[in-house]
Amino acid sequence: MAPDLITAATNITNAQGKATKRAFVTFLAGNGDYVKGVVGLAKGLRKVKTMYPLVVAVLPDVPVEHRNILISQGCIVKEIEPVYPPENQTQFAMAYYVINYSKLRIWALEDYDKMIYLDGDIQVFQNIDHLFDLPNNYFYAVKDCFCEASWRHTKQYEIGYCQQCPDKGSKPWRYTGEEENMQREDIKMLVNKWWDVYEDESLDYKEPINANKLTSAILDASGIKFVPAPSAA
């Protein structure tokens, strides 16, 4: 019995160490309703039982009230400074997306070895922790724009919905059913699933069990004394 208990305690400690160097990350700016999306994302990740935290990179204009909401949902809030494109280059950027240059600051979050960026208006419906185990030294991404004619063979192009054109879609928390391209049953189903997660109070953040205390309790049960390692700080 004791060897199994020791193995369990070791696994807990190892998992905690791995989790501190990896994180999901998203971005938030302004005082609008986008904070709802980030809360929904945090609760969705919790529902699929991720072992990794959600870091929210916020611009200085995100109000304290919204930051406190995120912290209460277990998010790690990191303020970043805005990044603006050179003035002589802004004619090539849609005004809506100029603010997204600030996402480049995420590269400066050097507390983590690996991060997975997720937009605040998406939802996860299954655990994706395995993506952290993909080989190092690569930049992984997915295609989210299907406007160009080269994508005319895709369903996304046929529907006319595009991530790069916010006026062609609707955020789940703003959905009314009247938006263009939003009357389809699969869209309604996904919106309902988003609200199910967002409104599920059982998914609200709860203070986790301290790993050292749990490890100590497991080892004490087997008659072995637990001495935590000293801080490296």
The pTM for the full model equals 0.76
Tokens at residue 154, please?
A: 């895709």
If you average pLDDT over residues 176-194, what whole number do you get?
81
How far, in Å, CA of 23 to CA of 39, rounded?
16
Contact 160, 168 (CB under 8 A): yes
If you average pLDDT over residues 7-14, what whole number do you get?
48
Q: Output Rg (C-alpha) for the chain, integer angstroms.
A: 21
Q: Which one has a higher pLDDT value, 11 or 171?
A: 171
Domains of the chain: 1-124 (3.90.550.10), 142-204 (no CATH)
pLDDT band (50, 70, 90) for residue 228: low
pLDDT tens per residue, range 82-125? 988 777 766 656 666 678 889 999 999 999 999 999 999 999 99
Tokens at residue 194, please?
A: 């988003």
pLDDT band (50, 70, 90) for residue 1: very low
- Low-confidence winner among 41-45, 132-136, 171-175 (lowest mean pLDDT): 171-175
Label residue 171 exposed, middle or buried (CB < 10 Å: 0-12, 13-18, 19+).
Answer: middle
| C-beta neighbour count of 131 within 10 angstroms | 12
How far, in Å, CA of 61 to CA of 51, rounded?
30
**How many residues are given for the chain?**
233
| C-beta neighbour count of 224 within 10 angstroms | 13
CA atoms within 13 A on the CB side of 36: 12
How far, in Å, CA of 106 to CA of 84, rounded?
14
- Low-confidence winner among 39-43, 169-173, 178-182, 225-229 (lowest mean pLDDT): 225-229
User: Is the model's pLDDT at 166 over the cut of 80?
Assistant: no
188 is catalytic: no
User: Is the model's pLDDT at 148 over the cut of 70?
Assistant: no
Of 27, 33, 39, 41, nearest in space to 103 by CA: 27
pLDDT tens per residue, range 64-88? 999 999 999 999 999 999 988 777 7
| Mean per-residue pLDDT of the chain | 80
How far, in Å, CA of 189 to CA of 175, rounded?
12
Catalytic residue among 18, 103, 114, 168: 103
How far, in Å, CA of 111 to CA of 134, rounded?
19
Tokens at residue 161, please?
A: 């919905």
User: Is the model's pLDDT at 208 over the cut of 60?
Assistant: yes
User: Is the model's pLDDT at 137 over the cut of 50?
Assistant: yes
How far, in Å, CA of 164 to CA of 191, rounded?
20
